[in-house]
Structure 1
Amino acid sequence: MLSYTGGIVLFAALLHASWNAMLHGNRDRFLSMTWMSIAIAAISTLVILFSPLPASASWPYIVASGLVHFFYNVSLVRSYRRNDLALAYPIARGSSPLLVALGAALFAREAIGPLHALGIVMISGGIIAIALWGQHVSRAGVLAALTTGATIALYTVIDGIGVRVSAGQSLAYTAWMFMSYWLMPLLFVAMRGLTPLRTSILGEPMSVGSSVVGGVVSIAAYGIVIWALQSGAMGAVSALRETSVVFAVLIGRVFLRESVSATRWLGCMVVAAGAMCLGL
């Protein structure tokens, strides 16, 4: 698990932290998420034109995961409005391996061994450190980040089961699931109209461009995870992906110039170490 597949999942973790930084770095995160969603949905539309259909048994999971991803996107935007990337990202991503491991044990009968239990304790301790002793932390902000983490865990478990009954069609499964991202621009137009989308192309081309690139990076990052979920334990794959919390804090500090306290650094490192224990 930690050789070839594990290395690829760790690369997906870096990609995932990168697109979250792109989203957080844009001033209008709802608009940015909408452009990201348009890019993801457009790529998915092209892929399904040239891919076989996933097995019929996987379709309920595709639909369910797509809907959960929609709520995840809304929750993510809300979380980033309330928190720095170095705070929101570790809480959201750090809480999900614990929930994924529990969900996998309940619904896919994946056992939780002593090392996995240690990883869960370390992740929980790291999250508590970040949440309680981070700078400028509000209860509402922590709750928003934890809600995002719950949606991450939910769609990960759904996709872990769904891709295993897709007859090996992980690419098609991923593309059809990401078709749900067409809902985000529909929501944006319903709330703000078409004008902000049109004017942003000429008025903020760099922001639109970074959002589109973020969408491409996002679909690659999670596509890798879905591929890995075909054969890897859900808790382990999720945990390896969540080592991205370290990448996110580094990106937040270096590129977004966010302040990172010593306690937050320590908490993120404990979360990452616990995630690695879950991946062993």
Structure 2
Amino acid sequence: MAALPAPAGAGAVPYVVLAAAVLHATWNALAHAIKDKLVGFALIGLAFTGVAAVAVCFTPLPDASAWPFIAASAALQAAYQVLLLQTYRLGDFGQLYPIARGTSPLLVAVIATLALGQPLSAQGAAGVAVICLGLAGLALADGLPGRAQLPALAAAVGTGVMIASYTIVDGVGVRHSGTVSGYLAWLYLCQGPILPLAACVLRGRALVAQAKPYLARGLTGGMLSLVAYGLVVWAQARGDLATIAALRETSIVIAAAIGALVFREPLGHQRIGASATVLAGIAVLELAHP
């Protein structure tokens, strides 16, 4: 399969993806800070649904060939949110967020190279490898997880697999759609209601009272998540998936800082060194994609 040409605007891709990384780490920190995780993710889904319901009225309809990708991505992103919810229930933000996010770039690089005809140059591959090494250092800065942490670890790795899966699906689907904005609007209209409806079934009438203390935080997190992923999908329509996936995971560096400053989690020399490794990998990728 021949590599797909990148449209105009590719030069802005790294900066757009880095901005998305900042927003992504921020909304995840907001979600982690909500004690009732089901309520928090239901509010995030409610924000998705409300914005998307308006957006579909003002955006072009995606091409028919994009709808299977939209359906698949909606299902994968719902599974991702369930696994992320479980990850945050079981463990610490500073350790499990890097594992969840760090699983994705390597999987995306392998799939994009083997299945989508987007091979990396040797320098690009080195950049991805260096970033993954830094992410692993961040994930394991507190030592290897013990047996009691295995369920949390499994949820975090599963989250990473879902991230890689919907990244690939959306990276291909948005190029079939003919409209980035229309693709995103319909994707979130399909995905957004899933967790709010599940929360209604599980909590019943008590859900409204349970949601009130977290309303502003949950809806804000949902809005930030929408903007963050919108920027990523815009970039996916213009750049190669492996590079975008690797740059996107620099949110782990920001999350490490948030964990230290907001949640009072230890940063330490290992986390600082791993963060520097991630930044070095970004530099290598930038040189590989002038």
Q: TM-score, normalised by structure 2?
A: 0.88
2:229 paired with 1:222: yes
Match of 2:164 in 1: 153
The aligned runs of 1:53-68 (5 Å cut-off) are 53-68=61-76
Shift of 1:125: 2.9
2:23 paired with 1:20: no
Distance in 2, Cα, partners of 1:262 & 1:107? 39
Q: Is the 8 A contact 2:24 2:225 kept in 1?
A: yes
Aligned counterpart for 2:55 among listed residues 22, 25, 47: 47
Distance in 2, Cα, partners of 1:160 & 1:247? 24
Alpha-carbon displacement from aligned partner over 1:240-259 (angstroms, at most 9, x marks no partner): 11111111111111122222
Query: Percent of aligned positions with the same letter in both sequences?
Result: 35
Aligned counterpart for 1:111 among listed residues 119, 143, 163: 119
Shift of 1:64: 0.3
2:166 paired with 1:177: no
Instruction: Pick closer, same or farther for the CA change 1:121–1:262 going to 2, 3 Å.
Output: same
Q: Any unmatched runs of 5+ in structure 2?
A: 1-8
Q: TM-score, normalised by structure 1?
A: 0.91
Equivalent position SS for 2:266: coil
Give the number of aligned pairs.
275
2:203 paired with 1:192: yes
Give the letter for the 2:235 counterpart: A
Task: Give the CA RMSD over aligned residues.
Answer: 2.0
Instruction: Pick closer, same or farther for the CA change 1:68–1:272 going to 2, 3 Å.
Output: farther
Instruction: Pick closer, same or farther for the CA change 1:186–1:201 going to 2, 3 Å.
Output: closer
The aligned runs of 1:1-280 (5 Å cut-off) are 3-134=11-142, 137=145, 138-167=149-178, 169-179=179-189, 180-196=191-207, 198-202=208-212, 204=213, 207-278=214-285, 280=289
Give the letter for the 1:182 counterpart: P
Distance in 1, Cα, partners of 2:100 & 2:283? 17
Give the letter for the 2:88 counterpart: Y
Shift of 1:237: 1.3
Distance in 1, Cα, partners of 2:231 & 2:205? 33
Shift of 1:231: 1.5
Give the letter for the 1:141 counterpart: A
Instruction: Pick closer, same or farther for the CA change 1:6–1:123 going to 2, 3 Å.
Output: closer
Instruction: Pick closer, same or farther for the CA change 1:275–1:29 going to 2, 3 Å.
Output: farther
Distance in 2, Cα, partners of 1:220 & 1:121? 28
Distance in 2, Cα, partners of 1:65 & 1:154? 8
Instruction: Pick closer, same or farther for the CA change 1:58–1:185 going to 2, 3 Å.
Output: same
Shift of 1:80: 1.1
Give the letter for the 1:157 counterpart: I
Distance in 2, Cα, partners of 1:235 & 1:99? 9
Match of 2:4 in 1: none
Distance in 2, Cα, partners of 1:74 & 1:200? 19
Distance in 2, Cα, partners of 1:146 & 1:84? 14
Shift of 1:117: 2.4
Shift of 1:275: 5.0
Shift of 1:264: 3.1
Shift of 1:49: 1.6
Instruction: Pick closer, same or farther for the CA change 1:233–1:6 going to 2, 3 Å.
Output: same
Shift of 1:190: 2.0
Shift of 1:124: 3.9
Equivalent position SS for 1:78: helix
